[in-house]
A = this chain, B = another copy of it.
Amino acid sequence: MYRIEFNDFFTSAFSVDCIIFGYSQGEIKALLIKRAMEPFENLWAIPGDLIYPDEDLEEAAERVLFELTGLKQIAMHQSQTFGKPNRHPQGRVITVSYFALIRIDDFEVKASSWAGDVQWVSLKNMPELAFDHNHILSSTYDMLKLKLQNEPVCFDLLPERFTLNELQQLYEFAFDQAFDKANFRKKIKYIPLIAHDEKQKNVKHRPAKLFSFDQKTYVDAVTSNHYTFKM
């Protein structure tokens, strides 16, 4: 059996792929870029980049997010790592995928050197993507759905003030099933929300009350060990 030298291992690269999820018009969407060069020229892809030698993984994912959206201080969630030897046609590249949840209205997409065309694409209507990105995206979406059930990350997707129906519709989209309105409101009874006097505007019917997530009360409830978010 031949012996592999230690240095032979240092022949691979690693990258992060950063799935940016947003929510608008009743649909969860991912921000994708159109590749301007080979391989997979003209196909849509998840934004990503190689990790610098001294850079932490999460830091690299934050950099990719920033370059594309200008947003900082957004929580990054690690999803999974993909490393089939032939997943990248130009060499061995292992990629760690992260996802970020943002409010679509909070920023403007920036063009960047490596991303000429950028677009929000609904998860209901996903085209063929470059590399193994369809696989990465769908695993990461599964992980998002898991978090939606166990942590209050839904409020990172919704506008700061939202109606209870908008909240419900987000879950209906994610889990592809309709819920009873009255029962949905009972279910969220213990989530700390602030009810505002403000109401929905520009709707052709009775406007709904606006709510926001009460982060402070939530943290208190969790740390004083009573409450766990569950959907």
For residue A55, CB closer than 8 A to chain B, the reply is yes
Whether B12 and A53, one on each chain, are in contact in the complex, defined by CB atoms closer than 8 angstroms, is yes
Contacting residue for A84 out of B14, B50, B56, CB 8 A = B56
**Contact across chains for B78 and A56 when beta carbons are under 8 A apart:** no
Contacting residues, chain B, for A10 (C-beta < 8 A): 10-13, 91
Q: Is the CB of A14 within 8 A of B57?
A: no
Check if A53 sits within 8 Å of B8, measured CB to CB: yes
A 34-76 binary contact with B (CB < 8 Å = 1; else 0): 0000000000000000111111110000000000000000000
**How many copies of this chain does the complex contain?**
2
Given A4-B52, A12-B12, A13-B10, decide whether A57 and B83 contact each other with a Cβ distance below 8 A.
yes
Asked whether, in the complex, the Cβ of A80 is within 8 Å of the Cβ of B83, the reply is: no
Q: Mark A77-88, 1 if CB is under 8 A from B, else 0.
A: 010110111000
Checking B12, B56, B83 against A85 with a beta-carbon cut-off of 8 angstroms, the contacting residue is: B56
The chain B residue sitting closest to A78, CB to CB, is B80
Contact of A55 among B50, B54, B85 (CB under 8 A): B85
Q: Please, which residue of chain B has its CB at the minimum distance from the CB of A60?
A: B83
Whole-angstrom distance between the alpha carbons of A83 and B57 in the complex?
6
| Inter-chain contacts of A14 with B (CB < 8 A) | 9, 12, 14, 83, 94
Binding site for B on A (CB under 8 A): 4, 8-14, 50-57, 78, 80-81, 83-85, 91-92, 94, 96
- Pull 8 A–B residue pairs with CB atoms less than 8 Å apart, ordered by A: A9-B50, A12-B12, A12-B14, A51-B83, A53-B85, A57-B84, A81-B96, A94-B96
